[in-house]
Amino acid sequence: MMNCKEISRLASERFDRELGLLERMRFRMHVLMCHHCRRYARQLAFLRRAIRRLAAARATRGPRLSAEARARIARRLDTATQDPR
């Protein structure tokens, strides 16, 4: 059986390339038995979907914030990190 380190690598790689039959079987077997890897694989899939949705939303949305608004937010963030409460 593959260990968790190998499985976490496959969990990521399966989004970049098609896994071989043996890899897919080993991955599924491991994930069935290991809730840590199951959770990790689920979180990766969730993140990937969220990032894709965000990218799609960014591509279709209207005007962006003005330079003034961005500067104002940046100043507020600076203040917040200097004086956290």
Q: Name the site residues for Zn ion (rule: CB under 5 A).
A: 4, 34, 37
Nearer of residues 3 and 79 to Zn ion, judged by Cβ:
3
Q: What is the DSSP string of 13-53?
A: HTTTSPPPHHHHHHHHHHHHH-HHHHHHHHHHHHHHHHHHH
Judged by beta carbon, residue 34 or residue 44, the one nearer Zn ion is 34
Give min distance, CB of 8 to Zn ion, in A: 8
Residue 27 dihedral angles phi and psi, to the nearest 5°: -60, -50
State the nearest-atom distance from the C-beta of 42 to Zn ion, in Å. 13
The token duo for 82 is 């200097």
Q: Please identify, using beta-carbon distances, which residue of 24 and 75 lies nearer to Zn ion.
A: 24
